[in-house]
Structure 1
Amino acid sequence: MAQFDLPLEELEHYAPAVPAPADFDAFWQETLGEARAAPPVRAARPVPTGLRLVDTWDVTFAGFGGDPVRAWFSRPAGVTGALPAVVEYAGYGRGRGLPHERLTWVCAGYAHLLMDNRGQGDLYGNGGDTPDPHAGAPGGHRPVTQGILSPHDYYYRRLITDAVRAVDAVRALPGVDPARVAVAGNSQGGGLALAVAGLVPDLAAMLATAPFLCHIGRAVMLTDASPYGEIAQYLAVHRDAEAPARHTLSYVDGVSFARRARAPGHFGVGLRDTVCPPSTAFAAYHAYGTADRTMHTYPFNGHEGGDAVHVRRQLDWLGARLPAAETFDVDSR
């Protein structure tokens, strides 16, 4: 796919007005207040992985509505003391998979929590373990359209709440410094990281690559690729649903969350990305609520962005702001 969105010289100044509903903050305060009525961590069970350098626990924490949400929690083996932590969110259609799949952050010396996506896990990867008991509201059958006719019923109200509660959970786990927690993700995971940065004021850092759920109104009109294309497909059948759908989506737009973020932010985008168009990521970047932010662009890449090159840039950037463990003592096990 050739570059299809705005040229870079325009993206560097692209800061559209993306209004939030008047009750945006009250909506999320109420939602999170209800979820936080329950203690965050329900269970943490060590699991064998065959990895001598990593210790892993199967964690269950209380998400939206107190629902049990699964996660993998990992720490470098043989490292004592409280570590900074990275909470990672997975992409659309993916679950938490297997505990040995995502090792970058723990191998860099961080405690690492990988949150499962409720009701997802069947599109690619190695599955998920968290059902969504609230999936019956009117709307489409895919996550991005489930409950889309009402902000209170919408799937992403639940998933964003889970993402915030994942931060609450990692802060309650032993061996984590609760004052040094970062959030990270690609695509849907990047959208969740942005949302959490806007809802949790004391994060240490936020890293979002090719973020989904940003400047949603433009994205739906610009690309037919999934997941945005699933919204268009739903509205092509339910022709009278556009107004309530747009109203619902305004409560989960990453641009509104970005305005409220205070943690240092790291962004990346491929300029040929037809899944999460680059202009939508730049809309969130320019709205981001602190001057301590950086954007990396990859002119000849699509949704994969900078891939491993970008990961190295993330490691360098986060390491300068949130130094991790430096020594690993396997013999102490």
Structure 2
Amino acid sequence: MNVLRPDDFDDFWDATLKQVAQVPLRPSFEYVEERSTDDVAVYDVHYDSWEGVRISGWYAVPREAGPHPALMLVPGYISEPVIPRSWARKGYAAFAVAPRGKLRSNQRFNPGYPGLLVHDIVDPNTYAYRGFYVDAVRAVEAVLTRPEVDADRVGVHGSSQGGALTITTAALMPDVVACGAAGAPYLCGFMESARLTHSYPYEEINEYLRDHPDHEQLVAESVGYFDGINFAPNIQAPMLVYIGLEDDVCPPETGFAVHEAMKCEKELLTYERCGHDAGHHWAMEKVEAFLAGHLGVAR
């Protein structure tokens, strides 16, 4: 798959991370008794990210003594993060992050859905996903401030947009992320995906280009900085990718392409007659085994 990779791709992201490092993280973990249980403690989390936007999330951790491996749970395009008590019961310090634009993190940034994918899409410096990707990185930094978290065991998992964030976070934090599981990865092969499908969210690009046909080259150049296929070679941790072969939201061709671009230890699961669910019914047992194996959680 032909994806434009800007010559200054790595420099762009190095500069981005250096710039956000100047923003104090100011992490806040507020214990929420009414959402906690006898075996899981739940915290309402907030921290500062790109351009000072305050990001929220839910953190759930076993009450038994740590250290526990951290599992970052990153959300889909429209879905809101849920309290990850089920993952905490498996032995993880689980953090479900709500990047900018999600309901609990939209005070200063709210392009809407549809809208996020094409928000400032012709300028990589202000494109919505620059801050969005950084929000996931800062989520890892926030959870690593917790004393019960084992900093050597950090995993990332999500599907669709969460699959994209799994890939980008692993690539941007190669010395931190120990493994990642990405289902039906979105934001891989932006331009080709918009040609292969007329489903949302990629249809947002088609709609934008119908209104601005002279912007196609600008869009292609800009999204090159955000394409998961361009991030993939920078990943060092073991990765699991799983896709549905009849996915009409994130075309399976793009899942194959991002997996092929990875140079790390990797595994690909494909499911016939499955769409954007990426074979969830069958895949999750393997996802859980993959994460547990790499993060040292007993099953």
Q: Do these two structures clear the TM 0.5 threshold for a shared fold by scoring above it? A: yes
The answer to whether the aligner puts 1:224 opposite 2:198 as a matched pair is yes
Instruction: Tell me how far 1:20 sits from its aligned partner.
Output: 1.1
Letter in 2 for 1:177: D
Number of equivalences = 296
Q: Give me the TM-score of the superposition, normalised by structure 1.
A: 0.85
> What CA distance in whole angstroms lies between the structure 2 residues aligned with 1:243 and 1:19?
11
Counterpart-to-counterpart distance in 2, 1:246 and 1:199: 21
Post-superposition offset of 1:118: 1.3
1:63 paired with 2:45, answer no
Assess if the C-alpha contact under 8 Å between 1:111 and 1:176 holds in 2: yes
Structure 2 residue 228 is matched with structure 1 residue 254: yes
1:89 and 2:74 matched: yes
Tell me: higher relative CO, structure 1 or 2? Use CA pairs within 8 A at least 6 residues apart. Answer: 1
User: Take 2:233 and 2:140, find their aligned partners in 1: how far apart are those partners?
Assistant: 20
Q: Hey, which bits of structure 1, 4+ residues long, moved more than 6 A?
A: none
Evaluate the alpha carbon distance shift between residue 62 and residue 306 of structure 1 in structure 2; reply closer, same or farther with a 3 A threshold: same
Partners of 1:135 and 1:155 within 8 A in 2: no
> What is the identity, as a one-letter code, of the residue corresponding to 1:279?
E
1:168-247 mapped onto 2 (5 Å cutoff) = 168-202=141-175, 203-247=177-221
Alignment of 1:1-333 (within 5 A): 16-47=1-32, 48-49=34-35, 51-77=37-63, 79-97=64-82, 99=83, 102-120=84-102, 128-131=103-106, 133-134=108-109, 142-202=115-175, 203-290=177-264, 292-324=265-297
Distance apart, 1:213 and its partner CA: 0.4
CA contact (8 A) 2:133 2:165 kept: yes
Which residue pairs with 1:124 in the alignment? Answer: none
Whole-Å separation in 1 of the counterparts to 2:207 and 2:129: 18
CA deviations 1:173-216 (Å, max 9, x no partner) are: 22101111011110001001101111111211011000000111
8 Å contact kept, 1:96–1:129: no
Q: CA deviation at 1:17?
A: 4.2
Distance 2:252 2:114 in 1: 27
Distance 1:247 1:132, change over 3 A: farther
Q: Deviations over 1:244-276 (max 9, x none)?
A: 111111110000111110000011000000000
Q: Considering only aligned residues, what root-mean-square deviation do their CA atoms show, in Å?
A: 1.7
Instruction: Decide whether the 8 Å contact of 2:100 with 2:109 is kept in 1.
Output: no
Distance 1:173 1:321 in 2: 21
Work out the CA distance in 1 between the residues paired with 2:261 and 2:152. Answer: 25
Displacement, 1:149? 1.5
Secondary structure at the aligned position of 1:87 is classed as: strand
SS in 2 for 1:217: helix
Residue pair 2:100, 2:110 contacting (<8 A) in 1 also: no
Query: Deviation string for 1:145-185 (max 9, x for gaps)?
Result: 10111001101011001111111111112210111101111
For residue 13 of structure 1, what is the aligned residue in structure 2?
none
Name the CA distance, whole Å, in 2 between partners of 1:82 and 1:66: 30
How far did residue 133 of structure 1 move? Answer: 2.5
TM-fit CA distance, 1:135: 5.8
Shift of 1:30: 1.0
Residues of 2 paired with 1:64 and 1:192: CA distance? 16
- Paired residue type of 1:60: H
Alignment-derived partner of residue 125 in structure 1 = none
State which drifts further: 315-324 or 223-232: 315-324
TM-score, normalization: structure 2?
A: 0.94
1:205–1:264: 8 Å Cα contact kept in structure 2?
A: yes
